[in-house]
Amino acid sequence: MEQLNLSNCLTILGQRQSNPVIVCPNCGSEEYRKNGKNKSSGTQIYYCKRCGRDFTPLPATPGFAVNPKAEYEKDCWDCRRLGLDGGVGKSSYKLNFSQLTQPWLRQSAKKYIKVCLSRITFSSTQEKLYSLRRLSRFLSQNYPGIQPEEIDRDVITEYIVYTSGEGLSASTRHKLLCDAKLYFDACYQNQWLDVSRYLVRSEDFPKQPKSLPRYIPEHVMQQLNGCIDDLPEPVMRMVLVLQECGMRISELLHLKTDCLLQDQAGDWFLKYYQFKMKKEITIPISREVARVIQEQRRYIQSHIPRHLGFDYLFTANGGVKHPDFNPVPKVMERRTLPRYLNQLAKRHNICDETGEIWHFQTHQFRHTVGTRMINNGVPQHIVQRYLGHESPQMTATYARIHDQTMKEEVAKFRGKVVNIAGEIVEPNDVEADDADLQWVKKNVQAQALPNGSCALPAISQGCPHANACLTCTHFRTTAEYLGDHHRQLEQTQAIIAKAKSNGWQRQVEMNEKVKGNLESIIAGLTECKK
């Protein structure tokens, strides 16, 4: 064996300093192997032996140098090498110009995007580059070899027809034309290209339909909650928080472990940061959701060592090869939660009214919360405060859809809260922020039932018969919920069968009463329809 001398030791030490330890950003493992290089950027790709994912080193990793000048010379920019944040919950951090086949377009696009990076978010810049790729594809197919000075109104008109013929929505076509206009205007003003002025004009933009809330129908929500325990526990808790609080996915993923607050009355509030509005807000939450958050906090404390400094409430899964959820000290990607939900929808056949499998998107929960609150008579300025909207116009989207059973009463009392007898129980004259919070705290749970309504007036302490509506004398329902009652009867019968097989006598007794009442309700509603 060769004896090490001082010279050899110094050589080895130098090698270690120039080749620092690389850590997988997904699971924190140091066990990896090289797995080729990115063809466009030349970046080394590594394969993690623990979680089975490919990765490139993060900016915090020694050796991942921030070098904007060198990066700008490439055809594929890595925002981490530019010293930029890829965005909240984003896994994509590249800007690839290689798909811009026209050399003049590629070079001018780099100048344009470089300016955009100084004033808008990285994800917004990615969208602008995507629009320029569409423009490049159109020019390649219809005007190969065209030069910038040859682009005139006829070419732009053809591009408008081209985007219409691809079956794109009006909002997408509007975005493509808007990005093209901004790009050409910048090229003209900065003299990057010899292009004409006003190539894209205001009359070119398609009329956009008024947006409607993309809420989740109640019968779909019931199906989801009926099988929600089939999700991994941390994911199930994420969905429960979304259902009540209606926050954006980026806000959910970046909830801190100290997000819970409690007032002197013992009621709970949730504090979180809105990245879109760049402000922190506080909203009242139910005791049930507070318990869910406390459970998740204990879960994090037991699975993530404190010395790692991970202070978020939810984590990513350590690897797709793990059958169970394997928490790692990393924020979950935004696309992961809807993937869990849509896999659940396929496994349990969660369908809409037409029988099609429901496709979940995380923002649907936000729209659902807003729509429910408006439908249940919550004043619009309270909904605006609760969801953290910047303007009343943002909240007005949810006001387009109203529960038919409440529309007349809401219109009659102009936003006042009424009981089942039509008596005003809470005047709508609050203005101060603290008063808004107290109003929501008292009333946010006073919502219509998914299969009927409650005859009790709105109360601050909640129903004394939690989860027992079908055994409560105050329960009311109509024939429009007949299908829901049939489905619930089938579920109740299945619960009774399972309880009997396991000897759960108490469960059998409780559900037999529910089963009898459901059968009576169905018989009565069926008779009314004759």
Assign 3-class secondary structure to 264-327. Answer: CCCCEEEEEEECCCCEEEEEEECHHHHHHHHHHHHHHHHHCCHHHCCCECCCEECCCCCCCCCE
How would you classify residue 349: left for phi > 0, otherwise alpha for psi between -120 and 50, otherwise beta?
Answer: left
Instruction: State the pLDDT at residue 31.
Output: 76
Q: Using pLDDT thresholds of 50, 70 and 90, give the confidence band for residue 517.
A: confident
Q: How far apart are CA 117 and CA 514, in angstroms?
A: 60
Instruction: State the pLDDT at residue 86.
Output: 62
Q: Catalytic positions, please?
A: 248, 276, 363, 366, 389, 398
Task: Give the percent of the chain with pLDDT over 70.
Answer: 73
- Does the structure show a pLDDT above 70 at 229? yes
**Phi, psi values for residue 289, rounded to 5°:** -70, -35
Q: How far apart are CA 160 and CA 155, in angstroms?
A: 9
Check if the beta carbon of residue 55 is closer than 8 Å to that of residue 29.
no
DSSP one-letter code for 78: E
415-467 pLDDT, tens digit each: 333 332 333 344 434 344 566 666 555 554 434 455 555 544 443 344 554 45
Q: How far apart are CA 158 and CA 249, in angstroms?
A: 38
Instruction: State the pLDDT at residue 228.
Output: 93
Instruction: State the pLDDT at residue 423.
Output: 39
- Does the structure show a pLDDT above 60 at 515? yes
- Does the structure show a pLDDT above 60 at 182? yes
Task: Give the percent of the chain with pLDDT over 90.
Answer: 37
Provide the sign of the torsion angle of the four alpha carbons 260, 263, 269, 270, taken in this order. Answer: negative
Provide the sign of the torsion angle of the four alpha carbons 489, 492, 494, 496, taken in this order. Answer: negative
Q: Tally Cβ neighbours within 10 Å of residue 394.
A: 15
